[in-house]
Structure 1
Amino acid sequence: MENNQSAEARGGDVSSQQEALETLASLDVDRALLAERVVTPWWYHPILGGIVTLLVGAQALPGVLSMAVLALGVVMIPVLVTAYTRSYGVSVTAPVGPRTRRLMTVLVGVLTVGMVSNLGIKFTGIEPAWGLVSAVICGAVTAVLGRHYDDVLRTELASGGRTDGRSRGAA
């Protein structure tokens, strides 16, 4: 609902209202520029999928081997993120809007199911090789949904987190 009164009639200053509108417009431009910079390189998601495969698969491995593979995967995550951040100068660590939050929830859910299923394999005595199935599925889902997540993230960044394609400053 718009107010048709002028800024002067409401007791406001026309120049300060204009400055506010210009500031909002510049924020829209900044969001669009940031969205252009947040482009994940082709190698990021396949490597992340491989790390996820290691982390999920480690749950089904016996004894010390499980801990060693798990430790390797945990160390590889910050190395990957650091390499990406140093190469591109920007890193987004949290969902921006509702679609990225949903995709993140789906990814965490898939990883949780994969890890729990591999723990089940480990504790029931089923052949550990079966753990590769859920590990590979989790790694593949991470690589594929990761690309989609990036596309949605850029869209939400450019629109200020809105899902209707308009920026926050738009009426």
Structure 2
Amino acid sequence: MTRDEDALRMLAEVQAAGEDLARRARAPVWYHPALGLLMGGLIAVQTQPLLLVFGYYALFVLGLLLLVRAYKRHTGLWINGYRAGRTRWVALIMVALVALAMLLAVWLVRERGLTLAPLVFGALVAVLVAMGGQIWQAAFRADLRDGRPL
């Protein structure tokens, strides 16, 4: 076998491994909506009494831990959401949108007296995060198919 043939064979193996990972890297159907609900809840509780807010924070952390565990069990891997590649932009945009929604909801309650704002923005964030999770997943799988490292 020549060096060129050997290099082509190794390249084909790397591409096949990327395709295999891209097939496996699909979260359960309920994963992104569950993450969206957790994130939306963060917005929804912001103007509640501190005991309720801190209780939700504990539930939020527990929920995230369970989601990570379920994802690892389902796919066999876990990837940092801010990894280099297409996914980083998706993650950063989602963080910015969630932070903006949280700040706006709290401002609307405190400055305008719109007490339903956290619930409305929480519901909006739940949907956006669920959709953003699907976009992130598609970007990650595309990166894998293109041979970008994990």
TM-score normalized with structure 1 length: 0.75
Give the gaps of 5 or more residues in structure 1.
1-13, 163-171
State the 4+ residue runs in structure 1 displaced beyond 6 angstroms. Answer: none
Paired residues, number:
149
Paired residue secondary structure (1:28)? helix
Residue 30 of structure 2 corresponds to which residue in structure 1? Answer: 43
Identify the match of residue 54 of structure 1 among 26, 30, 41.
Answer: 41
Which residue does 1:63 correspond to in 2?
A: 50
Contact residue 61 and residue 128 of structure 1 kept, 8 A: no
Is 1:142 the counterpart of 2:97? The answer is: no
Q: Percent sequence identity over matched residues?
A: 26
CA RMSD of aligned residues (A): 2.4
2:71 is the counterpart of 1:117: no
Q: Deviations over 1:121-169 (max 9, x none)?
A: 465483543211111111110011211221222111111239xxxxxxx
Q: Structure 2-normalised TM-score?
A: 0.84
Specify the structure having the higher radius of gyration (Cα).
1
Q: Between the two structures, name the one with larger relative contact order (CA 8 Å, sep ≥ 6).
A: 2
Structure 1 residues 64 and 126: alpha-carbon distance in aligned structure 2, compared to 1, 3 A threshold: farther
Residues in 2 aligned to 1:125 and 1:75: alpha-carbon distance in whole angstroms: 33
CA contact (8 A) 1:35 1:155 kept: yes
Residues 87 and 139 in structure 2, CA contact (< 8 A), matched pair in contact too? yes
Q: Identify the structure with the greater helix proportion.
A: 2
Report the secondary structure of 1:46's partner residue. helix
